[in-house]
Structure 1
Amino acid sequence: MSSEEFAPPKYAQIVQAIRQRIADGTYPPGSLLPSETQLVREFNVSRPTVVRALQVLQLRGTIEREHGKGSFVKAAPPVSEEQNTRPGRAVLDRAEVDENGSPIDAGTVPAPAHVAKLLGLSEQSPVMRRRVLFRESERPIDLVTIWCPAEVAEGTDLGDDEALAVGVRQHLQSAKGIKLQHVAERLSARHPSADEAKLLGLRKTAPVLGVLASVFNGGGRPVLIVDLVLPGDLHELEDAYSL
């Protein structure tokens, strides 16, 4: 078994390389990063891979991206909760078309007991379920399932079988005027279900990280449940906080 099987996905390698260059002063605060085209050539990857790496750096507060100008290194700010890396928040801001996301299924189904409880609904109430598999160089790297009350999903594209061009958070705000305010996450280390193992190409005994996130609107009502499954050999979660 080669070490390449356990190498991080390519976008994560780009993130690591850029962060190292920022740390060693190659890219000082305020400097302009190489263009997406230059990064594609340097790392020999696709443009969506570079875009995802830059999105991760932006979400971590490492860079600022300005349309038509490029990506700039930010000065190191004091650590705040808003700048911490949160898996649920990252999922809400991912544009499926830019990150090789393929919808597996999308449609109205009866709410499972645990989803109904988290959404404050009666069991078997109609909910929109959207499942999307993300790949890196054709290898599955994570599986996202989004659950949403049927009346909230009505008038949105969450039930479409086409990849979304913008993140779920932006789409809900533009389509329904729903502003997502905060997320409560629960992280678990476990084995995949039979269905998850099949979709992610994993052994049934392989370790995965499961992130179950409840997403609330401004009125404190849960409007989304995000179930994120991450193969344990491909992902690590990072956080930073003040003491």
Structure 2
Amino acid sequence: MAEKPVRRYQQVANDLREKILNGSYPVGQPLPHSRDLLRSYGLGSDNVLREAYKILKAEGLIRRNAAVGMIVQDPSPVVVDLVLHNPTGHGPLPWPECCKLAGLDGRMVTDSVTPGHANQDVAALLGIEPGTDIVTRARTAFAGDVPVRLDEAIYPRQVVEGTPIATERAVPGGIYATLAHAGHAPAVVARRTVRARLATGDEPSRLRLATGSWVLAADQVIVDECGRAVELLRIVANPARVRFTDERMAL
């Protein structure tokens, strides 16, 4: 049986992919303007080009930037193992340490500290009533200069009232030491869920992903010695750059 001819958009995608992989189109730089590509491939309309872009976006090779067009992404990025169970504590291993193990410079930036009210989902995980006052600390983790992970750490306001956790971007001594000093020493990871889902809201732009990309997501609830939930940590990560890992856990 004769093979089906390769559709034109697939031919264009294959050629663009080859040029990305061989470095003809450098990482971090835009692809040639669409009108130039239309001319070089002899295309009469941009429908074929749009379909080719869809393929390359799904493969993580390009992303759209409204100002300059399609940006080439690293086809073989270094993956950071995010150790979810810190052997010396209850949260993930500090991000700079995870990046160092991967041979990268890493930093975590606190973007905002915001008061609010628990929705039904957050309330159920924290064991509080919907509408209860909470504090949300939003953070972005960078591997080198690339944002690869988004965190939301959510606390019942009553637990962190009067501490830097509730108001300050920098928390001297760290979050868990501050919780302990406030009488809510983290004791147990009561719940952790990990899943893959489609990126939503502003996640694609913040993580420099194509619209419709998949992300890794983890929710973790930590309780104190009395069983009270003191932190809900929500992590969203680029799966091409971050791998969720557990290691050195007691049986």
TM-score bracket, normalised by the shorter chain, equals 0.5 to 0.7
Aligned to 1:205: 212
> C-alpha separation between the residues in 2 aligned to 1:107 and 1:163?
14
Seq. identity, %: 21
The yes-or-no answer on 1:119 pairing with 2:126 is yes
Aligned to 1:90: 92
Cα shift readout 1:92-140 (whole Å, capped 9, x = no counterpart): x568xx9522222212101121001111222121101110111122210
Matched residue type, 2:157: A
Aligned to 2:140: 133
Q: Kindly state the Cα deviation for residue 4 of structure 1 after the two structures are TM-superposed.
A: 3.8
Return closer, same or farther for 1:206/1:164 CA change in 2, 3 Å cut-off. farther
The yes-or-no answer on 1:238 pairing with 2:240 is no
CA contact (8 A) 1:194 1:204 kept: no
Cα shift readout 1:144-175 (whole Å, capped 9, x = no counterpart): 1011111111122223353445432123223x
> C-alpha separation between the residues in 2 aligned to 1:189 and 1:166?
33
Aligned to 2:194: 187
The yes-or-no answer on 1:6 pairing with 2:6 is no
> C-alpha separation between the residues in 2 aligned to 1:167 and 1:228?
18
1:142 to 132, 149, 155: 149
TM-score, normalised via structure 1 length? 0.60
Matched residue type, 2:198: H
Cα shift readout 1:168-219 (whole Å, capped 9, x = no counterpart): 2123223x13210111100011111122222222223212110001111001
CA contact (8 A) 2:112 2:169 kept: no
Return closer, same or farther for 1:189/1:136 CA change in 2, 3 Å cut-off. same
Q: Kindly state the Cα deviation for residue 239 of structure 1 after the two structures are TM-superposed.
A: 3.3
Q: Kindly state the Cα deviation for residue 222 of structure 1 after the two structures are TM-superposed.
A: 1.0
1:225 to 224, 232, 241: 232
Matched residue type, 2:188: H
Residue ranges of structure 2 left out of the alignment (5+ in a row) = 1-19, 22-72, 97-104
**Two-structure CA RMSD over aligned residues (Å):** 3.2
2:177 to 165, 170, 173: 170
CA contact (8 A) 2:95 2:108 kept: no
Residue ranges of structure 1 left out of the alignment (5+ in a row) = 16-52, 60-81
Aligned to 1:102: 109
SS in 1 for 2:92: helix
Larger Rg: 2
In the TM superposition, 1:42-61 aligns within 5 A as: 59=86
Cα shift readout 1:10-45 (whole Å, capped 9, x = no counterpart): xx4xx8xxxxxxxxxxxxxxxxxxxxxxxxxxxxxx
TM-score, normalised via structure 2 length? 0.59
CA contact (8 A) 1:144 1:227 kept: yes
Return closer, same or farther for 1:229/1:219 CA change in 2, 3 Å cut-off. same
> C-alpha separation between the residues in 2 aligned to 1:242 and 1:162?
34
CA contact (8 A) 2:113 2:169 kept: no
> C-alpha separation between the residues in 1 aligned to 2:142 and 2:171?
15
Matched residue type, 2:92: A
Query: Greater share of helix residues, 1 or 2?
Result: 1
SS in 2 for 1:155: coil
Return closer, same or farther for 1:146/1:155 CA change in 2, 3 Å cut-off. same
> C-alpha separation between the residues in 2 aligned to 1:102 and 1:191?
24
SS in 2 for 1:194: coil
> C-alpha separation between the residues in 1 aligned to 2:110 and 2:127?
26
> C-alpha separation between the residues in 1 aligned to 2:126 and 2:200?
22
Q: Kindly state the Cα deviation for residue 5 of structure 1 after the two structures are TM-superposed.
A: 4.1
Aligned to 1:39: none
Q: Kindly state the Cα deviation for residue 238 of structure 1 after the two structures are TM-superposed.
A: 3.0
